[in-house]
Amino acid sequence: MSYVPERQRSEGLAKHGVRALSSAVLIGSVTAVMWVLEAVDYTMNGWLDRFGVQPRNVNDLPDIFTAPFMHGGFGHLMANTVPFLILGFIAAARGIAKFLAMSLIVVVVGGLGVWFTSSANTLGSSILIFGFFGYLVGRGIFERRLLDIGIAIAVVAVYGTMLFGVIPGEPGISWQGHLFGLIGGVLGAWFLRRS
């Protein structure tokens, strides 16, 4: 049986506490920005919606970086806020640098997937939410550490039904954003895994 000195234990707990606080601040701040953007969009009669992904329009390709932070109304934003906060916090708590790199992978893979396959202007944080889901499950598969496996199981148990969102069919819902966001998250877990 090994012994960990009290000082080392305290430093480890403090490090985890700082990481959790940083994650909460980051995810909370991004969420606040999305709410402010939607409030501005509301006062401008939906003018910001033009920053969604316009399929196969080369001039609008940079909008893959803005689309995940725009929403088609407060109802859309409200539906996305809780899973964004929960899954985003858990993903960020595993490491801010990896979280930011993974989010970039998700935005690019999800945005390009939508850009190539969609038929309508697409926006919303669902691309990131599905990416966070894919990343957390992917970490459990690729990292094979007990903590990551436990997190993956819990995420699937609570949010597993959202996988139905990758099936085409429901009008006004971008299954492409869901599918390619999920793929981006799994790719992020693969590329950012421990060597």
In a domain, 60, yes or no: yes
Per-residue model confidence as pLDDT tens digits over 129-155: 999 999 999 999 999 899 999 999 999
- Give the total number of structural domains in the chain: 1
- In contact, 75 and 90? CB cutoff 8 Å: no
The model's pLDDT over 26-42, given as tens digits with 9 standing for 90+, comes to 999 999 999 999 999 99
- The span from the CA of 99 to the CA of 83, in Å, is 16
The residue with tokens 């953007």 is: 37
The answer to whether 29 and 85 have CB atoms below 8 angstroms apart is no
Range of the domain at 21: 6-191
Domain assignment present for residue 67? The answer is yes
- Does 183 map to a domain? yes
Its pTM surpasses 0.85: yes
Using CA atoms, how far apart are residues 54 and 61, in angstroms rounded to an integer? Answer: 8
Token pair of 141, please?
A: 């598969």
